[in-house]
Amino acid sequence: MTRLLIVDDSPLMRRLLSDIFGQQEDFVVATARSGEEAIAVLTEFAPDVVTLDIHMPGMDGLQCLDRIMLERPTPVVMVSALTAEGAEETLEAMSLGAVDFVPKPGGAISLEIDALAPLLVEKVRAAARARLSRTARLAERVRLQSAGTRRRPKPARTRGRVMPVEWAAPEDGAIVLIGTSTGGPPALDAVLTALPATFPWPILVAQHMPASFTGQLARRLDRACALAVGEVAKPTPIEPGHIYIGRGDADLIVTRRGARLVAMPAPEDPDRLWHPSADRLVESALGVVAPERLVGVLMTGMGDDGAELMTELHARGGLTIAEAEESAVVWGMPGALVERGGAAMILPRDRIAGALLELARPR
């Protein structure tokens, strides 16, 4: 059974969420009315996963999340408003350790929650299985705990592997295509901020997110990265050494206008479940760029988006990298690529940027 703690100051939301998960056979549910109450019951109830409202009186969701990650690290799914403010707060929550988020219903909550229920259950189930970093904020946790009360966690053993790769970047350079979902913003932060301003190749990113979040994500990354980062909200020429974030509630595709390659948003493909779609990004790139000029990177996320087309990319002579299981929050998407035999390299998150730099190094 999965032990779920629902934290929300709204009695209606607590009741509706309790009803949704109470109908599932694999959940045991407890609730808390505030951040303070959540911290008080955290050790006693020992949840496997927490849903956490951001806006609460007293200790708000971000403060509560901070305490959870320091005192008893537990997978957390944030319940967030689909607004610019909500996006910024949610991205901050993910930088503090939250695994995922779900949109908070607006308007007639009791009516909208029914439509949201399947996604909510799927995300909470995935979060309960998520792998939290054993070393994230370790120094703060050690300072918080009494000396000798807990043993220092050992670093996870790296199980990533590099298969023999007979790929070399063409003289005119390559294009990097990244797909990610659950746990993606911190993963993108780790990889993209490690690239220097001299990295020569363009990078296109399909991160599953709504449109109200992807602009904020691009701006946060732009502040943190040496490379220029922008959201693709209109047709945009692809330039070396730039990072392009696909706009949410749409798909990111690559097309050609004359001699120039262009990144542009396209209406969601209804045959694909997640958007921006990593599969569609790779498919579009394969239509206008030689496969040997493409590098596909598939990182943390539930489901299998990107696995099919990156396997095809690998078979046609492109290079593919899957994030290793030990660093992925959810090893759904990269695991599916590995299972299909489509990953040329399997690397933990902290080695992906180094691999890209080595691949781009002039020979």
Catalytic residues, which ones?
181, 208, 305
Half-sphere exposure of 340 (CA within 13 A, CB side): 24
Residues 247, 267: Cα–Cα separation, whole Å: 10
Backbone CA torsion sign across 347, 350, 356, 358: negative
Pair of tokens at residue 70: 């320091």
The beta-carbon contacts of 11-17 under 8 Å, at least 24 apart in sequence, are 12/109, 12/110, 13/53, 13/79, 13/109, 16/109, 16/110, 16/113, 17/51, 17/113, 17/120
Residues 69, 298: Cα–Cα separation, whole Å: 26
Residues 165, 167: Cα–Cα separation, whole Å: 6
Query: What are the φ and ψ backbone dihedral angles of 36, each rounded to 5 degrees?
Result: -60, -45
Residues 167, 16: Cα–Cα separation, whole Å: 53
DSSP per-residue codes, 275-303: SS-HHHHHHHHHHHS-GGGEEEEE-SBSS
> DSSP strand E in the chain: where?
2-7, 27-32, 49-53, 76-80, 100-103, 161-162, 175-180, 203-207, 228-232, 236-237, 242-246, 251-257, 260-266, 294-298, 319-323, 345-347
